[in-house]
Amino acid sequence: RGGKLRDLMNMPVDIFTEICFYLGPHDLRRLALTSKRLWDILMTKEVRHIWKATLASVPDLPECPSDLNEPQYICLLYSSECYTIVSPISI
């Protein structure tokens, strides 16, 4: 069972996080929305550095406002359905 990404979760965590560092903000957000398991992994404090790095890769992007976390800020910037990620999350 599973689609094309089924083997993604079988790779070592350090390789998965390294891949995430190469994603742009919109792509990282879309990856988080791909499945509940990826959402649960990418919405933890342990991977906050990935979200910060993906935002830092965008030239001339203003800093994340203090009242938003990085995924919320990315949603605000790159999505018209921001309500999907504004709900309280653990990041």
How much is the mean pLDDT over the chain?
A: 83
pTM for this one?
Answer: 0.77
pLDDT at 90 over 80: no
pLDDT at 91: 54
Query: How do the domains of the chain map onto residue ranges?
Result: 6-78
pLDDT at 81 over 60: yes
Angle, to 10 degrees, between the axis of helix 25-32 and the axis of helix 70-78? 110
- CB burial of 4-23 (b: ≥16 within 10 Å; e: otherwise) equals eeeebeeeeeeebbeebeeb
Q: Which of 56, 89, 54, 53 is nearest to 72 (CA)?
A: 89
